[in-house]
């Protein structure tokens, strides 16, 4: 390889103009990295996991045979999918729906002409975007009551609805940033041209700016959906019934045989991969398709 000072080795100059760009500063770590990485994996990625799932029980001691371990896994699979993973999907759907609606509103508030609204929206966005998801979940879990008493009727709030709410908060904040970024990515000349045609601000935003950038919001939005889905097992720490919680219970029901741990958790990884991988592939494809110059 050709030796280029400053590229393949440390620069030898002290002229500031030739110093290399500080790439970590120039480009913040992008959320889209998750989808790009996932989509870049080969489709056979889960095969080693599947192999692990089936081979690990070979380590079984005499007391617990390979056949018994595989049999246990086989028995529990339908239950784990139907009563477990399905809940992960439902939680992710609902959290995404709430987060998208709230995030769109918050994102538009971030570009409001009223400074108080703009700053508040910015603060809320930054707060929820940069907080650890688990902490948000715990706060929501503990801050919300477990039941509402209105007169004589008692409405109980199940844990999983609180989990949905807790997960929708960081989604809201990240969607807010997507909306703000997309609106600001439309060249300001579009605003100028619309203003010159006597459109008012609301008309410009809804009729001219948003229709142009809605497409480029879709890939990052899907990216956040994949991240959210992969984050739903966090709910197991709050005892919400989903796949990880149920797997743990299943292993306990099988007398906590240590041979079962790796197969069960490998299965969880495989099923998440099977669900998120197509989404990531589609996300990256759409991203390329929509990467049009205005």
126 near another protein, rule: CB under 8 A: no
Q: Which is nearer to another protein, 27 or 293 (CB)?
A: 293
Residue 101 as a binder of another protein (CB under 8 A): the answer is no
Q: Answer yes or no whether residue 113 interacts with another protein by CB under 8 A.
A: no
For residues 122 and 115, give the distance between their C-alpha atoms in angstroms, rounded to a whole number: 10
Nearest-angstrom CA–CA distance, 23 and 241: 42
Check: CB of residue 139 under 8 Å from CB of residue 100.
no
CB of 182 to another protein, least distance (A): 13
| Binders of another protein in range 196-255 (CB under 8 A) | 196-200, 203, 207-208, 211-212
Minimum distance from CB of 219 to another protein (Å)?
Answer: 18
Write out the two tokens for 10: 């440390």
Question: Can residue 286 be called a binding residue for another protein (CB under 8 A)?
Answer: no
Q: What are phi and psi of 9, to 5 degrees?
A: -145, 175
| Start-end of H helices in the chain | 23-26, 33-40, 46-55, 66-79, 86-110, 115-129, 133-143, 159-185, 188-196, 201-203, 210-231, 243-253, 261-290
Of 19 and 207, the one with the shorter C-beta distance to another protein is 207
Which of 15, 189, 255, 288 is in the footprint of another protein by CB under 8 A?
189
| Paired tokens of 183 | 């609106």
Instruction: Confirm or reject binding of residue 51 to another protein (CB under 8 A).
Output: no
Residues engaged in binding another protein (CB under 8 A): 189-190, 192-200, 203, 207-208, 211-212, 294
């Amino acid at each position: 390889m050709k030796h280029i000072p400053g590229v393949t080795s440390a620069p030898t100059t002290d002229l500031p103009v030739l110093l290399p760009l500080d790439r970590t500063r120039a480009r913040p770590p992008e959320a889209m990295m998750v989808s790009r990485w996932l989509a870049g994996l080969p489709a056979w990625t889960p095969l080693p996991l599947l192999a692990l799932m089936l081979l690990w029980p070979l380590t079984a001691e005499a007391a617990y045979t390979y056949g018994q371990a595989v049999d246990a896994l086989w028995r529990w699979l339908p239950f784990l999918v139907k009563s477990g993973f399905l809940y992960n999907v439902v939680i992710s759907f609902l959290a995404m729906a709430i987060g998208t609606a709230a995030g769109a509103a918050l994102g538009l508030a971030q570009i409001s002409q009223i400074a108080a609204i703009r700053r508040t929206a910015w603060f809320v966005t930054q707060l929820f975007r940069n907080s650890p998801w688990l902490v948000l979940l715990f706060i929501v879990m503990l801050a919300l009551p477990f039941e509402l008493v209105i007169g004589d009727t008692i409405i109980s709030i199940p844990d999983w609805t609180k989990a949905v709410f807790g997960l929708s908060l960081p989604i809201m904040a990240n969607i807010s940033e997507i909306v703000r970024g997309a609106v600001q990515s439309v060249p300001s000349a579009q605003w100028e041209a619309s203003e010159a045609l006597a459109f008012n601000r609301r008309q410009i935003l809804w009729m001219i700016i948003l229709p142009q950038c809605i497409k480029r919001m879709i890939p990052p939005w899907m990216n956040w959906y994949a991240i959210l889905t992969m984050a739903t097992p966090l709910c197991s720490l709050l005892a919400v019934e989903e796949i990880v919680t149920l797997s743990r219970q299943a292993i306990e029901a099988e007398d906590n045989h240590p041979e079962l741990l790796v197969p069960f958790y490998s299965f969880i990884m495989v099923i998440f991969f099977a669900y998120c991988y197509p989404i990531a592939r589609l996300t990256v494809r759409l991203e390329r398709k929509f990467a049009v110059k205005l």
